[in-house]
Copies of this chain bind each other. A is one copy, B any other.
Amino acid sequence: MAKIRLFIDHPLAAGQPVPLDQGQAHYLSGVMRQREGAEVAVFNGRDGEWTARIDRLAKREGTLMPVAQSAPQQDPPDLWLVFAPIKKARTDFIVEKAAEMGAARIMPVQTDHTNSERIRQDRLQAHAVEAAEQCGGTFVPEVTDLQPLQRMLSDWDPSRRILWADESRVGVAETLAGLPAGPWAILIGPEGGFSGNERRQLADLAHVVPVSLGPRILRADTAAVAAMALWQAALGDWGGG
């Protein structure tokens, strides 16, 4: 369990040296107290997980040598998570949880009731990387820039269905088992819910499927995990459906 896993945005292949940047070298030498000759696990989101030997390690630089692939590349199912950013700590949690739960793409949107004007996309992307390092995955979901919900909906390819966690439908959850396979997105609203205009617009779209998540009101971060669990079990790679 103490295995060191490092995301490195560099091609991985046997015998092809991989340079460490300052942060990675500091993490391995200063934080994890690794020495030259030690082995760590690395992945780049494309080439699976590799066992790599630390060939050279200074305080601010170093070189890894990939030895052998330890796990094949495993991409998550084609599920996006669309959510309205909330307070900072909970937004970080949503991104972390989405990466753990196997979202392929994480899309913050601005809604009528969203407080944030902007997000730190780079910080959220770093959270997604860290979650992938911790959860043993070989894939890192892209976190997109904040965009208005209106624009996202008008640009949307309707062949990707949207599972809309509609908090006005608090009650009996629908079963997801009958829903068609294919590309999906889960849409989670802000605290305070979607506005009347947004609700009417969503209800009018044929590719939007409203669902309820039970009789209690869930916070946005809880709703995101719960909806993704149901989707993964019914249609995704949890295979329970």
Contacts and interface: CB of A to CB of B under 8 A. Distances in A.
Contact of A175 (B97, B135, B241): B241
How many monomers of this protein are in the complex? 2
A214 interface: yes
A100 B219 contact: yes
A217 B134 CA distance: 8
Contact of A215 (B134, B216, B237, B241): B237
Contact-size category for A: 35 or more
A115 to B, nearest CB: 13
Interface in A182-241: 191-193, 212-219, 222, 225-230, 232-233, 236-241
A136 interface: yes
Q: Is the interface of A mostly helix, strand, loop or mixed?
A: loop
Nearest to A131: B219
B214 A102 contact: yes
A74 B173 CA distance: 16
A237 B135 CA distance: 30
A45 interface: no
A104 B208 CA distance: 33
A174 interface: yes
A31 interface: no
Given A1-B192, A100-B222, A240 B135 contact: no
A153 interface: no
B219 A135 contact: yes
Interface of A: 1, 74, 76, 93, 96-97, 100-102, 134-137, 170, 172-176, 191-193, 212-219, 222, 225-230, 232-233, 236-241
3 closest cross-chain pairs (CB), A and B: A173-B238, A226-B229, A172-B239
